[in-house]
Amino acid sequence: MKIMAFNGSPRKKWNTATLLKNALEGAESKGAETELINLYDLNFKGCKSCFSCKTNGSKSYGRCAVKDDLTPILERIEEADAVILGSPIYLGTVTGEMRSLMERLIFPYLTYTDPIQSLFKKKIHSAFIYTMNIAEEQIEEYGYTTHFNTNENYLRLIFGEAESLFSYDTYQFRDYSKVLATRFDEKRKAKRRKEVFPEDCQKAFEMGARFAQHVK
């Protein structure tokens, strides 16, 4: 079995990456082969609106026709048993790299039919892991819920199953004394990173283990 994870953060050793690595460790504990891809290492762009993936008779129907660093990765996803996307929240949404991946991954499999159908050849597990600077009670105020629901619905439509894991009020800087961030209580955030973030890591580990155990 194969589980792939995608880090949409430019940071390879911080909150989002740590949660994804825990998810993959959980999968490995059940015997899964895993792969972590850092999107910021790749040279790729989002959808170019060429519509080759929607053109009748095209060899790219249902597939992204763009050739770049993402091309072989999209091919490997078709052989995966689970896909986990991870991103911090920037200005109320996922990072630009993650959004570009989603355009290239999801749009080609969506049919322009009524009802909409998925061209992905099998049903697999999928999930989104989010990290964010705000507290859980603020997500409605900031309009995050709609964004999260939309992403999960698209994953479910394409892959058959989807879920989300949220890590709130994350510790953003290694040294708060070096940045002007008086809006935030560094001591409170440090306490949360020590006490709550390990619980988020355990949830990620359990997600990966569960995905590996229930491969279809």
What are the residue boundaries of the structural domains of the chain, listed by start?
2-213
pLDDT by 10s per residue, the chain, length 216 = 899 999 999 999 999 999 999 999 999 999 899 999 999 999 999 999 999 999 988 888 989 999 999 999 999 999 999 999 999 999 889 999 999 999 999 999 999 998 999 999 999 999 999 999 888 998 889 989 999 999 999 999 999 989 999 999 998 878 788 878 888 888 888 888 899 999 999 999 999 999 998 754
Helix count and strand count (H, E) for the chain: 6, 6
Token reading at 90: 């920037």
Look at the domain 2-213 and name its fold: Rossmann fold (3.40.50)
Q: In whole angstroms, what is the distance from residue 202 CA to residue 207 CA?
A: 9
The answer to whether the Cα torsion of 36, 42, 46, 50 is positive or negative is negative
Residues with Cβ within 8 Å of 125's Cβ and at least 6 positions away in sequence, in order, are 81, 82, 83, 159, 161, 211, 214, 215
Instruction: Indicate the pTM of the whole model.
Output: 0.92
Locate tokens 């959004």: which residue?
99
The answer to whether the Cα torsion of 3, 129, 117, 63 is positive or negative is negative
Q: In whole angstroms, what is the distance from residue 118 CA to residue 111 CA?
A: 6
Q: In whole angstroms, what is the distance from residue 19 CA to residue 167 CA?
A: 9
Q: What is the 3-state secondary structure (H, E, C) of 123-185?
A: CEEEEEEEECCCCHHHCCCCCHHHHHHHHHHHHHHHHECCEEEEECCCCCCCCHHHCCCCCCC
Q: In whole angstroms, what is the distance from residue 6 CA to residue 100 CA?
A: 12
